[in-house]
Chains A and B, each alone.
Chain A
Amino acid sequence: MEKTLNWREFLITRLVRASGYSAIVFVALIFFFLLREGLPTLGEVPISTLLSLRWYPIENYFGILPLVTGSIMVTLGATMVAVPFGIGTAVYISEIAPRWMREILKPLVELLGGLPSVVLGFLGILVLSPFVRTLLDLPTGLTALTGSLLLGGIAVPTVVSIAEDALDSVPRSYREGAWALGATRWQTIWRVTLPAAKSGVLTAIMLGVGRAIGETMTVMMVTGNAPVLAVTPGSLFSPVRTMTATIAAEMGEVANGSIHYHTLFFIGMVLFIISLAVNVAASSVVFRSKQRAERVLS
């Protein structure tokens, strides 16, 4: 009895530990397969072609710059929507809203996080893009701007939930100290609470941006899918195409192992590295501030 019990315990402990390590294994596997299928591109496509301005795979033009600028343009636009509204909503929920309002707002923002991106893309095509087209008098409503607006909405829940956590974890005594010195609640928010939650708010912004870069279906459906270089502010009002949308739109039609196939994996690899950088940076901010807090406490 005793022996079988120990044996079971041993086995289960091993299994549980292996599951714990699995996350590392999966990240490594993902990176390995992206490298395996993506790196051959560097041998098949000259760097000068890769960094050129034309993406037209049928005739072997594999310039990824238009896609990169498209992604940057749409992401910047989304950031300008998501950061003010996300942080504003987070401050409102954590510092100003009465309790009953909190109970309504928090689940609603969570709900937005749960809406499938394809549903938002669908509404983007049918409702938002005609609106953008008539409002700004454009030839088409499927523009970088339309994508940015929707993408901003998609990034908002990420920003709100993380920023709100950060604001919530600021000790109450900080605020009370400020109030006791005669500061208004508004002054307390700007000069005490937000600065104290700085690292968490920064994390929220970074992860929100990361969410926006990686979003696929919505941008594919509403940005018009035109792989043209987007560097001037004016291209916000014309169709663009992002890296994610290119992969999603073209991978279904390429032959496995072709140059085009490898190049799409190469773009995936670039996206993976971007998201890795964003997330490692975000978590290192969190770790560092935690260490600082521990130093202050001890």
Chain B
Amino acid sequence: MMRRLRLNRHLTERLGFISLTLMAVVTVVPIVAVVIYILSQGLPAISWEFLADFPRDGMRVGGILPAIVGTFYLTIGTAVFSVPLGIAAAIYLSEYAPDNALTRLIRIAIINLAGIPSVVYGLFGLGLFVLFLQFGTSILAASLTLSIMTLPVIISTAEEALRAVPQPFRTVSVSLGGTRWQGIQRIVLPQALPGILTGVILGLERAAGETAPILFTGAAFFLPRLPNSPFDATMALPYHLFVISTQVPEMPPQIQYGTALVLLVFVLGMNLVATTIRSRARARRQW
């Protein structure tokens, strides 16, 4: 009797472990498959002309240069606003914020910012930046919208990096006569830099791949030239992929896959840089 019971529970464990392993495999395999599939289907489309030329003939021929440049501009624009603000907010939360109701409110606000649907950011950007502040459908309005969406990612990862710097670093700085800010600027920030950088890149990666927030704030269906001021609308890779896969009939699949590939490389490249910085910093850390 005892023996059978034991056997059963070990059999259950065996079966349970196998099914959980299978679940993990089923979760992960499609991810790898998606990346490999896009790579294999998209690579034949990649050529110098595809990367460096304008779309022609209703976007069915030619390249995607304006979309690449547009996504680049939007990413830079997002960084300009969200990086300083996000890091400063993280410094406040990690180094200055008292443990009170207001700080808890800030944290709840950050969690909420992270959860707001991307299309609602688009509505907000349309209401505030495009119409109320009259920036028009522009790179400026789209970048501002994207940077507010990126903010929670940057704040939470940067705060984590700052908190990971051991307390004695700060104490020693103060004991040598440094002010609080000097300690932060010269000791804490440099130590936390790799972690902060990782968070920044992960945040910008999200911004670069987003479509919904720029739909009504800065994305253009088609532009025959590159934007030449922040007040111009722009084409962007994610929006372009959306347009050519749903709005343009008889689109050659090769151009679609090529566009998806370029977007994927852009985004995954950033991801790779971020994870490399993180793992290198972890290996080199002295504390």
Are A118 and B97 in contact, CB atoms less than 8 angstroms apart?
A: no
- Please encode chain B, from 5 to 47, with 1 for each CB lying within 8 Å of some chain A CB and 0 for all others: 0000110110011011101101110111011011000000000
Tell me which residues across on chain B come within 8 A of A115, comparing CB atoms.
31, 34, 209, 264, 267
CB distance from A149 to the nearest CB of B (A): 10
Q: Is the interface of B mostly helix, strand, loop or mixed?
A: helix
Q: Is the interface of A mostly helix, strand, loop or mixed?
A: helix
- Please encode chain B, from 106 to 137, with 1 for each CB lying within 8 Å of some chain A CB and 0 for all others: 11111111111111111110111001100000
Tell me which residues across on chain B come within 8 A of A247, comparing CB atoms.
119-120, 122-123
Q: A27-B113, A114-B209 are in contact. Are A19 and B92 (CB under 8 A)?
A: yes
Are B117 and A26 in contact, CB atoms less than 8 angstroms apart?
A: no
CB distance from A170 to the nearest CB of B (A): 17
Q: A9-B180, A271-B117 are in contact. Are A256 and B23 (CB under 8 A)?
A: no
Are B245 and A122 in contact, CB atoms less than 8 angstroms apart?
A: yes
Contact of A20 among B89, B119, B209, B246 (CB under 8 A): B89
Are A282 and B111 in contact, CB atoms less than 8 angstroms apart?
A: yes
Tell me which residues across on chain A come within 8 A of B21, comparing CB atoms.
92, 96
Q: Looking across the interface, which residue of chain A has its beta carbon closest to that of B215?
A: A248
Are B256 and A279 in contact, CB atoms less than 8 angstroms apart?
A: no
| Interface stretch of the complex, out of B57-65, B72-80, B147-155 | B147-155
CB distance from A197 to the nearest CB of B (A): 15
Are A153 and B120 in contact, CB atoms less than 8 angstroms apart?
A: no
Contact of A24 among B20, B106, B131 (CB under 8 A): B106
**Is residue B1 within 8 Å, beta carbon to beta carbon, of the partner chain?**
no
Contact of A217 among B19, B151, B212, B267 (CB under 8 A): B212
Q: A19-B89, A34-B120 are in contact. Are A26 and B148 (CB under 8 A)?
A: yes
Are A13 and B96 in contact, CB atoms less than 8 angstroms apart?
A: yes
**Is residue A16 within 8 Å, beta carbon to beta carbon, of the partner chain?**
yes
| Interface stretch of the complex, out of A43-51, A132-140, A181-189, A231-239 | A181-189
Q: Looking across the interface, which residue of chain B has its beta carbon closest to that of A27?
A: B109
- CB within 8 Å of A: which B175-197 residues: 179-181
Tell me which residues across on chain A come within 8 A of B50, comparing CB atoms.
none
| Interface stretch of the complex, out of A52-60, A62-70, A104-112, A172-180 | A104-112
Are A20 and B97 in contact, CB atoms less than 8 angstroms apart?
A: yes
Contact of B264 among A30, A119, A185, A221 (CB under 8 A): A119
**Is residue B263 within 8 Å, beta carbon to beta carbon, of the partner chain?**
yes
Q: Looking across the interface, which residue of chain B has its beta carbon closest to that of A280?
A: B108
Tell me which residues across on chain B come within 8 A of A210, comparing CB atoms.
115
Tell me which residues across on chain B come within 8 A of A248, comparing CB atoms.
119, 122, 212, 215
Are B123 and A217 in contact, CB atoms less than 8 angstroms apart?
A: no
Tell me which residues across on chain A come within 8 A of B110, comparing CB atoms.
23
Q: A36-B127, A85-B27, A92-B20 are in contact. Are A107 and B275 (CB under 8 A)?
A: yes
Tell me which residues across on chain A come within 8 A of B256, comparing CB atoms.
122, 126
Q: A26-B113, A108-B32 are in contact. Are A119 and B13 (CB under 8 A)?
A: no
Q: Looking across the interface, which residue of chain B has its beta carbon closest to that of A284?
A: B108
Q: Looking across the interface, which residue of chain B has its beta carbon closest to that of A188?
A: B13
CB distance from B188 to the nearest CB of A (A): 12
**Cα distance A283–B30 in the bound complex, in angstroms:** 31
- CB within 8 Å of A: which B61-108 residues: 85, 88-89, 91-93, 95-97, 104-108
CB distance from A7 to the nearest CB of B (A): 12
Are A279 and B115 in contact, CB atoms less than 8 angstroms apart?
A: yes
Contact of A251 among B31, B107, B123, B209 (CB under 8 A): B123
Are A244 and B24 in contact, CB atoms less than 8 angstroms apart?
A: no
Contact of A122 among B16, B93, B107, B260 (CB under 8 A): B260
Are A88 and B20 in contact, CB atoms less than 8 angstroms apart?
A: yes
Q: A34-B123, A111-B31 are in contact. Are A184 and B267 (CB under 8 A)?
A: no
Q: Looking across the interface, which residue of chain A has its beta carbon closest to that of B14?
A: A186
**Cα distance A67–B151 in the bound complex, in angstroms:** 30
**Is residue A21 within 8 Å, beta carbon to beta carbon, of the partner chain?**
yes
Are A280 and B34 in contact, CB atoms less than 8 angstroms apart?
A: no
Are A221 and B242 in contact, CB atoms less than 8 angstroms apart?
A: yes
Are B241 and A118 in contact, CB atoms less than 8 angstroms apart?
A: yes
CB distance from B21 to the nearest CB of A (A): 6
Q: A26-B109, A118-B241, A126-B253 are in contact. Are A12 and B123 (CB under 8 A)?
A: no
Q: Which 5 A-B pairs have the closest CB atoms?
A: A214-B117, A20-B92, A116-B209, A19-B88, A88-B23
New A-B pairs, 7, CB < 8 Å, besides A119-B263, A271-B117: A107-B275, A111-B271, A118-B242, A186-B13, A244-B117, A275-B116, A279-B115
12 contacts between A and B (CB under 8 A): A33-B132, A88-B20, A92-B24, A93-B24, A109-B27, A116-B264, A118-B239, A216-B117, A221-B246, A268-B120, A279-B111, A280-B112
**Which residue numbers of A lie inside 8 Å of B, CB to CB?**
5, 8-9, 12-13, 15-17, 19-24, 26-27, 29-30, 33-34, 36-37, 84-86, 88-89, 91-93, 96-97, 105, 107-112, 114-123, 125-127, 153, 156, 160, 184-187, 189, 207, 210-211, 213-217, 221, 244, 247-248, 251-252, 256, 264-265, 268, 271-272, 275-276, 278-280, 282-283, 287
